Chains A and B, each alone.
Chain A
């Protein structure tokens, strides 16, 4: 604004001294205000630059490089072709998709119905909410070590209870099977669902409470039964929350790491709980011999592209229904 004032007054001829001083004062004040505003930003901007923006660029660069005996050279697509030829790569993707799929069955539907149920109860509401959310607050190591202990094939609680009931016991997370769905992965998903379902349940509950009661009233007057009311009122009214949580959950479960890492040590028996993020970790930090940051970065880029394409498609498909 001040700039235009200055040019205008210049164009008109000789500006008055007062006018000029006002313009200069305005500009320096604005500069000072901008500087102080950027001063407020500097800490956050530096942290973002160092730990977010730069690593993003660096990951892509690393994925096209190779380091041999301390000398870094460009490698073209070699890292990518190496990971595509690694049988573990496909195993990791299959397992990750299996985990995501199973987590949807357990971790997506269960919280929704739990929320519907909790919303209908007139008693013990606070108690039940607290219960559902309590595991979410636990340190993941506590919760997962507890489940690892329950899953122990020889003296874990689950097998001891099965023995007591004269039912066949299971190897749980140590099951060697590799045909989908594997027992090991189901066991991982059960632990993960127990740990995490509280958050989704409470978000659904909040959404359910925003549904106007008149809608149910009207549906009932039209003769809609209980399930018809759920299908025609509850689901459409919470659709936005349902679809956003669906996307967030898929993106989160595709990055599964800690669950398998603690329950099975990561790859598990016959690699049947090896996830993509775990493979990144193995490439970069725990490969015997040389750690390979470049292959790990290439795999990271692939994962980023897959998740990016998925979220992009998801948002694009739902663009006009939001």
Chain B
């Protein structure tokens, strides 16, 4: 298990134009034989067709069935292209499910959680890695230990804690802090950041200290600029985590008017609305993540392997 961002950098470069030098299961020579060439063509076409059908197919219906009228959506045989395009379905869905409000809520929770995570987790990882306070390693170990606890298991005591914070006796249910603050307790973030900060040479930090830079100044002027790749990974995963979370926002944000729910919870809760409105709302909910993915595709995919496991 190695989590070093420079690795992510190299793997990205390696995947781009695959050189003929690094061979895989089937050698280039074998592929160049006349019979194999044809077989390869067939397999390639099959894979592209099957994957496109399997992964784009459902998405195609996600977006077009929202454009069909209610009768057409339930027609046998199913129409492949909507015969009559009803963009009004999207408009109605937007209004009846208050998708705009849900989307705003989700973005608000996601950006807030991200800000809290970046400030507190970066500061903590920096302290663990470079400032090394007394008991730092013990605290770090206790944080890592939480990774062993499956997240869904603690849902009840977490809910009760948020409903009545110990000592302070504050009820956070229904406030954005109920999502923001627990998101900071993410040991994986701290682990990733600390591993990256550990790779920053001590000489650099010593030089800064000799020049009279305070720890905060050294963090801002030296550590953060170097750490852009890992900050990118943490940002993307922090954002996606809030966007994909379901049970926690269902518990802490549901049942208010105007709604404080997230997109996930909001569109799931609308059971009485006709189904093509729900599909249209699901499509709208999916659009931001698809755009986000297409923009940050590279970082997301390299972050997946940098943050995950490597043999």
Closest to B48 in A: A124
Most chain A CB neighbours (cut-off 10 Å) among B44, B78, B156, B214: B156
Binds B, one of A2-10, A35-43, A87-95: A35-43
Q: A20 on the interface (CB 8 Å rule)?
A: no
Nearest chain-B residue to A255 (Cβ)?
Answer: B152
Chain B residues closer than 8 Å to A217, beta-carbon distance? 23, 27
Selecting from A101-109, A129-137, A170-178, the interface stretch reads A129-137
Binds B, one of A11-19, A179-187, A280-288: A280-288
Residue contacts A-B, CB under 8 angstroms, 13 given: A40-B215, A41-B139, A44-B143, A58-B161, A135-B58, A141-B268, A142-B62, A145-B279, A155-B73, A161-B78, A233-B25, A261-B246, A262-B268
B146 at the interface (CB under 8 A from A): yes
A53: chain B residues at CB < 8 Å are: 142, 146
Interface residues on A, range: 35 or more
Q: Identify which of A58, A138, A146 contacts B157 (C-beta below 8 A).
A: A58
Task: Check A52 against B153 for contact (C-beta < 8 Å).
Answer: no
Known: A40-B126, A251-B150. 16 other contacts (CB 8 A): A33-B215, A34-B133, A37-B127, A37-B215, A40-B215, A43-B123, A47-B120, A59-B156, A62-B160, A134-B293, A135-B58, A139-B244, A139-B289, A140-B244, A280-B156, A303-B152
Question: Which residue on B lies nearest to A283, using beta carbons?
Answer: B156
> Which of A34, A36, A123, A304 is within 8 Å of B149, CB to CB?
A304
Interface residues of B (CB under 8 A from A): 1, 11, 14-15, 18, 21-27, 31, 40, 43-44, 47-48, 51-52, 54-56, 58-59, 61-62, 65, 73-74, 76-78, 116, 119-121, 123-124, 126-128, 131-134, 136, 139, 142-143, 146, 148-162, 165-166, 181-182, 184-185, 187, 190, 214-215, 240, 243-244, 246-247, 251, 263-265, 267-268, 275, 278-279, 282-283, 285-286, 289-290, 292-294, 297, 300-301, 304-305, 308-311
The answer to whether A40 touches B289 (Cβ under 8 A) is: no
Q: A119-B24, A133-B293, A142-B62 are in contact. Are A40 and B123 (CB under 8 A)?
A: yes
When A133-B293, A146-B58 are in contact, do A297 and B157 touch as well, CB less than 8 Å? yes
Assess whether B310 is in contact with A164, with CB atoms less than 8 Å apart. Answer: no
